[in-house]
Chains A and B, each alone.
Chain A
Amino acid sequence: MAAAALLSAETKERGLRVRVPLWAATDEPLTADRLTARVDGKPVEILELRNPSEDLMILLVLDMVSDLNEIELARKAMLSAIQEIPPNVYIGVLRAQEGLRVLVDPTTDREAVAEAIQTFPISGTPGLLETVETAARLADAILAKANVRLAVFYVTDSNIYRYREDFSNPVINYSDSQDLSRRFPEGLVRNRISKLNAALSGALAPLFVVHLEYETDRLNEAYQNGLMQLTSTTGGNSSFCRSNAEIGPAIEATFKSILSHYSLDLLVDAKKGDNITVTLESPNNNLSYRNRFHIGK
């Protein structure tokens, strides 16, 4: 995936347009003229800053197959959250089990979104790892065509042992008493996360994940660490709920985070190479933002 390059057509002669999600620590509105941006230490031109009041598209991906109680709490939290969302926010709903599928096209019709959340099928096996790259690709394709803010938001209860693909590397030869190869069992998970991370390093839409369970076994810990890595790479974030009480606040907080994000377009010298580091500053305001981008060739 080399999404940043998709935006280059608009500014082909001058360089590449790179989209940076960012958050301000204070309620004081950010403006482009109060921002300074550097790429690899050198000042760059700010092309556009879209603020939290502007149009936003959220691709809400549902990936829940396990605990009915947790799923219900997540449903309630999502239904509650979408009622609070401003009318200019478009929400598309997809499901991740057995491949990504559209449940509702992006819309401001909250009833349709609520209906999808209420009725989405909870059958099948977890799909986050199988679908996240496609979701990011879809988001980047949209960003390449439309100048909007966009975020991908997974709500999942995926357990690494329940994937169709075998990440747990179970013992096959029980008589092999000298097997040491499974002492570090997280290798397969890490491998997949590395591939996805490399792919998502070129994605422009921030990825958010709320996981309904905080797992502490070694393999799921590696998996959830991997999810944190993926969201961090795209500038988003992830939450893991250690109790049912955390589900609602986590989903609400994630929606708030998505709604409050700015989208900043920078003009970057195309000759800078494939990987860039962005530095942003604004007087009297602490900014958090995605600072590393991989630009495809």
Chain B
Amino acid sequence: MRRASRYALLVCAVGGAWATQQQPPSEIEKAVEEFKVQTANLGLRADSPRRAVRVGGGGSRWHGRLFWNFRNDALDAVPHEVTQTGGDKGILRRNQYGFNISGPLVIPKLYDGGRATFFSVSYEGVRETIGRSFLRTIPTLPERTGDFGAVVDKAGEPLPIFDPLSTRENPNYDPSQPVALDNLQYRRDPFPGNRIPTSRLDPVALDGLQYYPAPNIGIGPFFQNNYAIYSPGGENADGMRIKVDHTLRERHRLSSGFAFSNGLSRPAEFFPTIANPGSPGREFRSRNGSLEHVLTMSRNSVNNFRVSFWTSTSEAGGAAEGDDGVFPFYRFLPYLSMGRAYPVSRTSNTQYEISDGFSFRRGKHSLRFSGEMTQYQLNSFWPQYPAGRYDFTEGLTSLPGIINTGHPFASFVLGLSRFAEGSLVQHPSYFRRKVGDLAARDEWEIRPGLTINIGLRLLVSTPRVEKYDRQATVDFDAVNPESGRPGALVFAGKGGQPHGFQPVVVTPDPSMTVSWNPQRDSKTVVRLTLRRFHSIIPMYSGQWGTQGFNGTPTYITQNAQLEPALILRNGFPPLPRPLPDLRPDAANDTVADLVDRTGRVPTYNSASLSLERQFPYSFVLAVGANHTHGRDMLASNDSTNPNAVPLDALQYRDLLNEESFRRSLRPFPQYQRFDVYSAYPAGRYQRTEAYLRAEKRTSQGMSMRAVYEFSKQYDDYSTAGGIQDYYNRRKEWALNPSASPHTLSMSYMYELPFGPNKGMMTGTDWKRYLVEGWTFSGVTTYSSGDPITLSAIYNNTGNIINVLYVNAVPGADPSVPNPGPDMWFNPNAFLNPPDFSIGNVSRTHPQLRNPSRQNHDLSVTKRFTLTSERALEFVGTAFNFVNHAVWNTPDAEIGTLEAPNVNAGRIIGSRGGRVIQLGLVYSF
């Protein structure tokens, strides 16, 4: 009876006339009635019974998974670099496990979230022990006793070691002629037999050497690559992520999230003593949380409000790996150094963010206004070289003015350092900064098929301040009281200085995108985007910019060939003045911290044009081109030096070896140089790229995508070690050293067509468990080689050039017909520049490329369906599954005609190897 009356009502609604007689319902009327019944039973109606509403979406109320990923060295190939050293693969034990569960939030007898409250909880744990392999060069045992009789140069010729105590002026020196073997400014005697007498060896150096391992292999060439390390490292981590969503009266939605993670990283050791130069163990803790409120005000307006925080703490050394004291940092290239730069450090990085965005639509305009405020906090305790850093070069054991003589390690065993520095950090630094962001955007549909999107963003960035005003920088406008010259140390909040050294930066970022469907063909889209944008200067970990509050004594030799900066046996001198030392000249004679005060920030301008066309069978082809150029890119100490000696000073030749003379040529002679800490806005950048993208969406279980990109990227600041001329950045304009001009990436997924409801082997007997549920996924990448960076071995430029480029030999072709590991490029096309001159080949070579790289990853999944809601998946993933070896880069150090690098242009070894991970996922 109840059903019949419903049909009567339905007839009324459909036909518009009241019918009191009950007629047999039509099929469509029956369908409508059944819709009502079913939606009521399934809880899909506002008036559904409470029980039905709770069941709601059908199936299980909670979904989730348990997973376990497993890696073991037994599954992996021996890495090529290990095979080449005759070693075996190191230990690998990795277990990664966890769970996730999500669904309506239910607290028995207290709360049933139903559709309104939804939660998701994930946990992940990691336990890993992994062996690392390294191949390094360390001093031979005879060298450690002062015997350099077997030491050779890059050409394999004996390398003479000279006795610095025998130095005397050459009465026959002709200052009008360059220093040369026949016109020496100083004479110095070689050690007899190239052996330093035991009595001359520095006891501190000898004491340190007891912590240095012995060579254990002889790969070469000559005595290089004589120490192979297979050392275990590890990672432990546990983390959890919780999310809760709640809907309030339809229009309000609240979502919150919280996550934490604790981890311990134990890097592999280069050697198991206090002098290990590898990174110290590090403890990590991260926490983040957010709360978001979305208010749907009307069908055309939505407001999003969000508050969040994120904090990450890391602590290295000390408690993280047992406090066993601190070893000084000894550096004597090309050998593996001893000690660590940052043996102990603590950093806590926190961000608080509040944002609101309001979107609404009016007519043909869709507008969005948003604002965001972020407070950054960085607490850093980061003492650099707390036990001192000592650099040793060949100069003090060389024949002064003559290249390819002397040896850095010989200088070390004599205890004669060319440069030394240390730090005394009394307080952590508490850096703070605020960044605001205001944005407006209008998406305007001018007509069907033509849309323009115009946006403007204002980025407001306050300068970095320190909670207790413990900040300092060199001010070029302040007069140094010691020298009377411009440039003195100033302190935040003192002497009229602001709390932050940089101005508040306001940058407008306009953007425009036009989307056009030519001839209103919706399958074809042309997009043009023009954009200008800025980035802010980040707050780096560390305590840069706190000189005066922390001590950073620096010692540099007055002549790198004649006098040591410090002698090891004498120890590191105490600070000359107690801290804090807030004198304007407190940073004199040091590497002074310099904060750029101009307010410049990295600025980019970009334009892009693309054409995308959809073809039948879900095939999409896109072509496009982008061009971006930038200025005020952040340069590091390697690529900027506002206190550099101009290169025209090379005319003074050997006089440049005198620190006092060099000092007179520096713009700010009271400072050795400046530390800009990768935050100096001085670089330029340009990238042009064209791409072709082809996509095939799912068809017969197969989908794939391929992207080919051709690009050219130039800049004047990215470098592996430094640039040649700080004052002529035009000459530094060269290909980016890590930019590959050609890249191709392909990804694919294929679900095998076997099993029920597939095209083949559709049987439902036991065999279905074998044949169904197989999926193959893969990612293949190929990139052509990046530009080769050539450098000169012998840099006899009076220490005013950090990295010396090479000269091109006129008429010589740098390429070789069939590049291979024995000869990748023609080293005879280049020469080490003569003394006191610069190289004429660009920072990166315009034609020569390092070997290309390719990688192929494959994942195979076998799925077992247990019930409609439960499944078990086995996942086998092979990274570099073809076990492809990538050649190492060729030796790109170029010598002179007299002392060539016989290995230049050659490639020694390759790297890479297949890694396999197995996984098991139970989902419900």
Contact = CB atoms under 8 A, between A and B. Distances in A.
* A-B interaction: yes
A245 B522 contact: yes
A1 interface: yes
B873 A191 contact: yes
Contacts of A164: 102, 118, 120, 243, 245
Contacts of B312: 174
Given A57-B31, A148-B28, A174 B300 contact: no
B253 A222 contact: no
A22 to B, nearest CB: 18
Given A68-B359, A218-B747, A138 B35 contact: yes
B35 A199 contact: no
B38 interface: yes
Given A94-B44, A123-B294, A194-B773, A172 B27 contact: no
Interface stretch (A13-21, A28-36, A114-122): A114-122
Interface string B46-62: 10000000001111000
B44 A177 contact: no
Interface string A160-184: 0000111000101111111111011
A195 B448 CA distance: 39
Contacts of A233: 757
Given A175-B237, A176-B237, A294 B128 contact: no
Contact of A195 (B45, B122, B869): B869
- The binding surface of chain A is classed by DSSP as mixed
A131 interface: yes
Interface string B857-876: 10101010100110101010
Contact of A221 (B26, B286, B705): B705
Nearest to A119: B299
A52 interface: no
A69 B366 contact: yes
Given A121-B296, A180-B917, A187-B875, A294 B757 contact: yes
B525 interface: yes
Interface in A70-100: 72-73, 88, 90, 92, 94, 98-100
A57 B415 CA distance: 92
A121 to B, nearest CB: 6
Contacts of B282: 175
B779 interface: yes
B618 A228 contact: yes
A99 B14 contact: no
A186 B875 contact: no
A99 B52 CA distance: 12
B189 to A, nearest CB: 52
Interface in B11-39: 13-14, 26-28, 30-36, 38-39
A contact residues, range: 35 or more
Interface size class of B (residues with CB under 8 A): 35 or more
Given A72-B361, A191-B873, A277-B762, A133 B58 contact: yes
Contact of A68 (B126, B252, B300): B300
B239 interface: yes
Contacts of A183: 779, 857, 859, 877, 879
Contacts of A287: none
Interface string B518-554: 0010110100000000000000000000000000000
Interface string B279-308: 000101010000000101001111000000
Contact of A102 (B45, B98, B241, B749): B45
Given A69-B361, A130-B57, A142-B38, A166 B32 contact: no
Q: Return the 5 tightest CB-CB contacts between A and B, nearest first.
A: A175-B263, A69-B366, A123-B296, A146-B31, A173-B237
Interface of B: 13-14, 26-28, 30-36, 38-39, 42, 44-46, 56-59, 63, 65, 69, 71, 94, 96, 98, 100, 102, 115-116, 118, 120, 122-124, 126, 128, 130, 235, 237-241, 243, 245, 247, 250-253, 259, 261, 263-265, 282, 284, 286, 294, 296, 299-302, 312, 314, 359-361, 366, 443, 445, 448-449, 451, 515, 517, 520, 522-523, 525, 612, 614, 618, 620, 695, 697-698, 701, 703, 705, 747, 749, 756-759, 762-764, 773, 775, 777, 779, 857, 859, 861, 863, 865, 868-869, 871, 873, 875, 877, 879, 915, 917, 919, 921, 923
22 contacts: A1-B868, A57-B32, A68-B360, A106-B31, A134-B57, A134-B58, A137-B42, A142-B31, A150-B31, A164-B245, A174-B284, A187-B861, A214-B620, A225-B698, A228-B618, A229-B701, A233-B757, A245-B525, A246-B522, A275-B756, A292-B757, A292-B759
Given A101-B46, A109-B13, A244-B451, 4 more contacts: A121-B299, A142-B38, A243-B522, A244-B445
